[in-house]
């Protein structure tokens, strides 16, 4: 009988960087970007994650060395070894950020990665569209913090998945595991939509600040909101939510991926 194949997952890239979004901005993290997504947000800046590439790009060290190309799907123990190799000296990174695409399309892999990363002493941070509550339930106990989105229709170009968001937020609120709720806003995002979203967030996930993230112009996606639009949207959200922050994608300013 052939030996059982080790568990694998489709990967886009693994690299060391500074977290560029949300409340952990500026923190050194190892990013594990899993391939595939079931959404198509108009502002998406990682459309290369939709298909599974032939090879994952895996950084050997933060600077200088050429990336390693690992054929997809990648064995989870190989992935964890790559994370451990990058965290040199150990503790250089505060966390591993499991992102995508939509990482929760692969709940079993996220579970195994989280357990392994914790053994390395890394906090486990998961970025998700906030629309896959079943997968959140599967990994809830082994992930330290989640950054779920609130998908505004004006920015994504698709209806907001209110029911999936509600279920996701309730799970996270029950364990106080949401770092923040992130909503991308564009130049045409209406105040009323942001106020309703803020009311929804505070009703279902009151422990988490709401982050309004200005859209970074990308392809045919929404234009970036002006400063005056951001002030108006922040005021509108603040009518419903006690803790609203405006945080842009900082890694773009730094020229980081």
The residue (of 13 and 87) whose beta carbon lies closer to ligand SF4 is 13
Q: Does residue 133 belong to the site contacting ligand SF4 (CB under 6 A)? A: no
Q: Which of 18, 23, 27, 39 binds ligand SF4 (CB under 6 A)?
A: 39
How far, CA to CA in Å, does 191 sit from each of 134, 187, 230?
31, 11, 10
Which one of the spans 6-14, 15-23, 100-108, 224-232 is the region binding ligand SF4 (CB under 6 A)? 100-108
DSSP 40-95: --TT-S-GGGSSPPSEEEE-SSSSSSPPEEEESSEEHHHHHHHHHHHS-STTS-SE
The reply to whether 44 sits near ligand SF4 by the rule CB under 6 A is yes
**Binding map of ligand SF4 across residues 50-89, x = CB under 6 A, - = no contact:** ----------------------------------------
User: Judged by CB, which is closer to ligand SF4: 128, or 229?
Assistant: 128
Cβ 1 to ligand SF4 shortest distance, Å: 39
> Which of 46, 52, 55, 72 lies at the binding interface for ligand SF4 (CB under 6 A)?
46
Q: Which of 18, 101, 24, 22 is nearest to 56 (CA)?
A: 101
- Residue 102 as a binder of ligand SF4 (CB under 6 A): the answer is yes
User: Could you tell me the two tokens for 217?
Assistant: 């112009």
Give one DSSP letter per residue of 167-226, joined into a string.
Answer: HHHHHHHHHT-BS-EEEEE-TT--HHHHHHHHHHHHHH-TTS-EEEEEPPP-TTSPPPPP
Which positions ≥6 away from 233 have C-beta within 8 Å? 185, 189, 191, 194, 212, 225
Pick from 37, 80, 117, 122 the residue near ligand SF4 by CB under 6 A. Answer: 37
CB of 230 to ligand SF4, least distance (A): 20
Report if residue 100 touches ligand SF4, rule: CB under 6 A: yes
Cis-peptide into 65, omega within 30 deg: no
Is residue 235 a contact point for ligand SF4 (CB under 6 A)?
no
Q: Is the C-alpha dihedral spanning 199, 204, 205, 211 positive or negative?
A: negative
The β-bridge partners of 97 are 31, 125
Q: Give 184 or 240: the residue with its C-beta nearer to ligand SF4.
A: 184
Q: Is residue 49 at the binding interface for ligand SF4, with CB under 6 A as the rule?
A: yes
Residues interacting with ligand SF4, by CB under 6 A? Answer: 37, 39-41, 44, 46, 49, 100-102, 129
């Amino acid at each position: 009988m052939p030996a059982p194949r080790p568990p694998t997952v489709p990967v886009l890239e693994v690299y060391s960087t500074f977290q560029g979004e949300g409340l952990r901005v500026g923190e050194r993290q190892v990013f594990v970007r899993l391939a595939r997504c079931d959404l198509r947000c108009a502002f998406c800046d990682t459309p290369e994650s939709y298909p599974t590439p032939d090879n994952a790009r895996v950084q050997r060290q933060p600077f200088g060395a050429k990336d390693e190309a690992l054929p997809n799907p990648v064995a989870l123990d190989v992935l964890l070894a790559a994370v451990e190799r990058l965290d040199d000296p150990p503790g250089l990174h505060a966390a591993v950020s499991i992102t995508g695409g939509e990482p929760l399309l692969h709940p079993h892999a996220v579970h195994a990665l989280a357990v392994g990363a914790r053994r390395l002493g890394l906090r486990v941070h998961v970025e998700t569209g906030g629309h896959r509550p079943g997968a959140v339930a599967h990994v809830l106990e082994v992930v330290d913090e989640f950054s779920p989105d609130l998908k505004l229709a004006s920015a994504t170009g698709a209806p907001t998945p209110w029911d999936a968001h509600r279920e996701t937020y309730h799970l996270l609120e029950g364990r106080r595991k949401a770092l923040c709720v992130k909503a991308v806003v564009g130049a045409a995002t209406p105040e009323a939509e942001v106020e309703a979203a803020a009311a929804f967030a505070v009703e279902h996930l009151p422990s988490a600040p709401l982050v309004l993230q200005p859209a970074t112009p990308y392809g045919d996606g929404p234009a970036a909101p002006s400063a005056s639009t951001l002030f108006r949207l922040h005021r509108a959200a603040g009518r419903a939510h006690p803790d609203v922050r405006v945080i842009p994608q900082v890694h773009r300013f730094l020229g980081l991926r």
